């Protein structure tokens, strides 16, 4: 079976061996974060609907999981917001009923947690990783650029309602953008929010590769460690979501291009992520660049390739 909605499995720094599920078309999201590694949001929406057929996602999962793969997590992530999909709860229930040995994780931007149906859909997940980047309305608008009507106050309210009802593990993720949410005032607000949410863990993150807005720079390691200490959390250096390739994909050049379209990568990232020899990665990158499909961007961590 060719998989359209499953990605990986890949080794993830946060989740071990993770099989990804992408429930919405590329960049369908309630936010348009300045740091997003998947490019600008093309469908900025808070409207929940069945963006891709629930039955088809379940069929792909059934086909893949019947082979009893070794996984640490099945993760709802991808290049958009999974809670926008109205079938999320049904798909999680399918996994937990049919394949109870697998742990389910959901990465969410927290935008829709005020909706009781979204909270109910998440109840059977083993792990939820909600984001909270800002508490002040000003920083929230600057970093997350939400769909109209969403406020920082409502997002925090939804998160608090969620943690009151949910009994699984919560890892709160805070993405730091220097000059926007690293001020003393904002960090104090975040600290108060963390104290109220009481997540199991707090993970502080920053840009690891080129984001949507080229003016956004990563926070320094020292700044991240300082902020993590205030919030009682830990620093993670990886990207905000775990994305990879469909299982059993074909040609290496196409695989590399598909990966770069999802997020900019260095040649070393590609070799590690895809298990392809560095020399072969370099050869395909030269061809893709000559065809005008990708271009180089120089960043602190080295040369990244991104889709043109
Ligand atoms: S980082 Fe996540 S929440 Fe923000 S725009 Fe990208 S997909 Fe949406």
Give me the half-sphere count of Cα atoms (radius 13 Å) on the Cβ side of residue 216.
23
Closest approach atom of ligand 1 to CA 131: 3
What would be the CATH architecture of the domain defined by 249-308? Orthogonal Bundle (1.10)
Q: How confident is the model at residue 211 (pLDDT cuts 50, 70, 90)?
A: low
Closest approach atom of ligand 1 to CA 41: 5
Give me the half-sphere count of Cα atoms (radius 13 Å) on the Cβ side of residue 208.
17
Which amino acid residue places its CA nearest to atom 1 of ligand 1?
36
Other Cβ atoms less than 10 A from the Cβ of 191: the count is 15
Which residues make beta-bridge pairs with 18?
10, 73
Q: What's the rounded Cα separation, in Å, for the pair 77 and 107?
A: 5
Closest approach atom of ligand 1 to CA 175: 1
Other Cβ atoms less than 10 A from the Cβ of 47: the count is 12
What integer pLDDT is reported at residue 240 of this predicted model? Answer: 35
Residue 166, SS3 per DSSP: coil
CATH 3.30.450.40 describes domain 6-248: no
Ligand 1 mean position, distance from CA 188 (Å): 24
pLDDT at 145 over 90: yes
Every domain of the chain and the residues it spans: 6-248, 249-308
Residues in contact with 250: Cβ distance below 8 Å, sequence separation at least 6, in sequence order: none
Ligand 1 proximal residues by C-beta, below 6 Å: 29, 31-33, 36, 38, 41, 80-81, 109, 240
Task: Tell me the pLDDT of the chain averaged across its residues.
Answer: 89
Residues 107-137 have pLDDT tens digits of: 999 999 999 999 999 999 999 999 999 999 9
Q: 30, 36, 75, 155: which to mutate for ligand 1, most atoms within 8 A of CB?
A: 36
């Amino acid at each position: 079976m060719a998989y359209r909605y499953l990605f990986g499995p890949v080794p993830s720094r946060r989740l071990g061996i993770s099989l990804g599920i992408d429930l919405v078309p590329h960049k369908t999201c309630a936010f348009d974060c300045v740091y997003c590694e998947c490019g600008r949001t093309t469908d900025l929406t808070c409207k929940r609907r069945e963006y891709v057929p629930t039955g088809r996602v379940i069929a792909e999962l059934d086909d893949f999981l019947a082979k009893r793969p070794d996984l640490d997590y099945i993760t709802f992530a991808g290049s958009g917001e999974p809670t926008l999909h109205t079938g999320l709860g049904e798909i999680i229930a399918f996994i937990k009923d049919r394949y109870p040995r697998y742990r389910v994780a959901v990465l969410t931007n927290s935008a829709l947690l005020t909706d009781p149906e979204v909270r109910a859909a998440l109840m059977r997940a083993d792990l939820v990783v909600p984001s909270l980047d800002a508490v002040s309305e000003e920083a929230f608008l600057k970093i997350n650029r939400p769909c109209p009507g969403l406020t920082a106050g409502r997002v925090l309210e939804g998160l608090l309602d969620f943690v009151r009802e949910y009994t699984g593990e919560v890892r709160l993720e805070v993405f730091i953008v220097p000059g926007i949410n690293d001020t003393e005032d904002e960090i104090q607000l975040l600290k108060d929010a963390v104290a109220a949410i009481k997540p199991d863990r707090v993970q502080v993150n920053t840009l690891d590769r080129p984001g949507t807005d080229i003016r956004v720079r990563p926070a320094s390691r020292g700044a991240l460690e300082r902020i993590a200490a205030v919030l009682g959390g830990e620093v993670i250096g990886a990207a905000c979501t775990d994305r990879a390739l469909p299982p059993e994909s074909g040609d290496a050049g196409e695989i590399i291009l598909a990966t770069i379209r999802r997020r900019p990568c260095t040649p070393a990232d590609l070799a590690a992520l895809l298990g392809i020899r560095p020399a072969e990665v370099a050869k395909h990158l030269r061809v893709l660049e000559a065809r005008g499909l990708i271009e180089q961007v120089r960043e602190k961590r080295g040369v990244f390739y991104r889709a043109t």
